[in-house]
Amino acid sequence: MSNPWRDDFPILKQRVNDERLAYLDNAATSQKPQAVIDTVTHFYEHDNANVHRGVHTLAERSTSRYEEARRKVQQFIHAQRSDEIIFTKGCTDSLNLVTSTYGNQVIHAGDEIVITIMEHHSNLIPWQQLAKQKGAKLKYIDIDENGQLKMDQAARLITDRTKIVAVTHISNVLGTVNPIQQLAAIAHQHHAVIVVDGAQAVAHLPVNVQELGADFYAFSGHKMLSPTGIGVLYGRHNLLAKMTPYQYGGEMIAEVHQQESTWAEPPFRFEAGTQNIAGAIGLGAAIDYLNQVGMDKIQHHEQEMVKDLLPRIVKMPGVTVYGPHDADKHTGVIAFNIDGIHPHDVATALDMDGVAVRAGHHCAQPLMERLGVPATVRASLAFYNDQQDIDQLLAAIQDTKEFFKHGTR
C-alpha cells in the first residue's frame, strides 16, 4: 500500500520529534500538494486583482480564474448548473448560510427539523438555535450499536411536519457513510428538503449531488487539499432563487436606492464583499489534482488501508474502537480510546513517535454523550497515507500502552 502521491506533499517530508511524520489528522484538515501551493503563489505573483469589478487585464484574468474554479466545483460534485455553487468561508459558513436564509424563511412555530445524533456542532447548533427562535422542534435520529443510523426510526421521525432534514454524509467520529439517497427520498416524500454536510466526504469518495438527491450540500476546501477560508454551498437553483441574502454589501445587489435595494441573482446574491479569490482558485487546483489521481482510486486506496488498520486496532487489548468494526462500513476516520489513559495523553504520546492524531470531543458533544465518553482519540486517513503510516500508528499505540504501564518506551 505504498503510494505515488505522498511525495507531492512537501510538508510530509519533515521529521517531527526526530521521527518520520505520520500525518493522521486529515479529518481536521488535509495537507496541500505542491500543485495547489504553486497555483496560489502564481496567482499572487501574476494575476491578483479584485474580481467582477474591473475591466483591466489583471481583473479580467482573476475573474475568469475565479469563475473557472466555480465551474470546476460544479463538475466535481456533478451539479446541474454553475450558479448553484456559492463560495463561502467553509462548511460552517455554508451551513449557517442555509439556516439563516432558507431555514429562517421556511421554519415556523410547530414545524420540525430532523438531524442525527452524530452531527458535528456546525450542522447542529445552527438548527438548534433556529428551532428555539421559531418555536420549532428539533428531532434526532439515533444510531445503533454499530454506529449506523437507525433508518426505521428515521422513517418514523420524518413526517409531513418536517421541513428540513440535515445530516452528515460521513461522520467525523464514527467513520460511517450515511444513506443519503434513502434519507433524501424519505424527506422528499414529505416535501422536506435535505441539507447534507459533506465536510468529511468530498475528498474521500466521488460525490454526485444529483444522484444523492441533496437539496443543499456543504463542504470546506481545507479538508480537500485547498487553502483554509474557502468553502462551498451547493443549492438547487429553484431553492436559491427564492432565498433572501445572507449578508449585505458590495457585489450582491441588482440596484441600490436610498430606501430600497434589489438583489443580484444567485450565486452572487450570497457572495457579499470581496471573496477569498486565491482560496477559490486554490480549490480549483485541488480539484484538478484530485481528478488527476481519480476519486475512485482515492476511495479504493483508503478502503484498502481501512481493511488493514481496522481489524488490527480492534484486536489490540485495552483499545476500544467506536463505530462499526466492519471495514466495509467504515471510512478512514477511526475513533478509539486506550483503557485508563486520557485521550489527550494518548495524542501527546503518539506525537512523540511522529504520529499526528487528534483528541477531544471532535465538535460532536451530543455524540460523545450518546457513546458515554467525554472524548476520544481520532486517527483519520487520506489517500496520501500509506502502509508505513498505519504501522507507525499501531506501533506508537503499543509504545504508549507500555509507557503508561511501565514508565518506559
Which residue numbers are catalytic?
363
CB 266 within 8 A of CB 235: yes
CB-nearer residue toward ligand PMP: 31 or 122: 122
CB-nearer residue toward ligand PMP: 218 or 394: 218
Q: Which of 199, 232, 233, 368 binds ligand PMP (CB under 6 A)?
A: 199
Pick the stretch among 43-51, 98-106, 196-204, 350-358 that binds ligand PMP (CB under 6 A).
196-204
Residues 6+ apart with CB under 8 A from 394: 309, 312, 313, 316
All cell numbers assigned to 118: 452524530
CB-nearer residue toward ligand PMP: 97 or 290: 97
Q: How far is the CB of 94 from ligand PMP (least distance, A)?
A: 8
Q: How far is CA 126 from CA 85, 94, 116, 129, 226, in A?
A: 21, 11, 14, 5, 25
Q: How far is the CB of 256 from ligand PMP (least distance, A)?
A: 31
Residue 172 interacts with ligand PMP (CB under 6 A): yes or no = yes
Residue 122 interacts with ligand PMP (CB under 6 A): yes or no = yes
Q: Which of 92, 303, 385, 392 binds ligand PMP (CB under 6 A)?
A: 92
Q: How far is the CB of 120 from ligand PMP (least distance, A)?
A: 3
Q: How far is the CB of 229 from ligand PMP (least distance, A)?
A: 9
Q: How far is the CB of 159 from ligand PMP (least distance, A)?
A: 26
Q: How far is the CB of 298 from ligand PMP (least distance, A)?
A: 18
Element (H, E) at 336: strand 333-338
DSSP per residue, 132-183: HHHT-EEEEE-B-TTS-B-HHHHHHH--TTEEEEEEESB-TTT-PBP-HHHH
How many Cβ atoms from other residues are within 10 Å of residue 202's Cβ? Answer: 26
Beta bridge partners of 219: 232
Q: Which of 24, 40, 91, 167 binds ligand PMP (CB under 6 A)?
A: 91
Q: How far is the CB of 233 from ligand PMP (least distance, A)?
A: 11
Within 374-403, the residues that bind ligand PMP by CB under 6 A are none
The pattern of x and - marking residues 290 through 329 that bind ligand PMP according to CB under 6 A reads ----------------------------------------
Give CA 250 to chain center in angstroms. Answer: 28
Count of residues in contact with ligand PMP, rule CB under 6 A = 15
In angstroms, the CA 276 to CA 273 distance is 10
Query: In this structure, which amino acid lies at residue 18?
Result: D
Is 232 strand, coil or helix? strand
CB 277 within 8 A of CB 66: yes
Give CA 211 to chain center in angstroms. Answer: 19
All cell numbers assigned to 406: 511501565
In angstroms, the CA 179 to CA 86 distance is 25
Residue 335 interacts with ligand PMP (CB under 6 A): yes or no = no
CB-nearer residue toward ligand PMP: 343 or 401: 343
Residue 99 interacts with ligand PMP (CB under 6 A): yes or no = no
CB-nearer residue toward ligand PMP: 154 or 166: 166
The single residue listed with the C-alpha cell 422513517 is 155
The pattern of x and - marking residues 20 through 59 that bind ligand PMP according to CB under 6 A reads -------x--------------------------------
For 316, phi then psi, to 5°, come to -70, 125
The single residue listed with the C-alpha cell 438548534 is 128
Beta bridge partners of 295: none
> Which residues of the shown chain bind ligand PMP in the complex (CB under 6 A)?
27, 90-92, 120, 122-123, 168, 172, 197, 199-200, 220, 222, 363
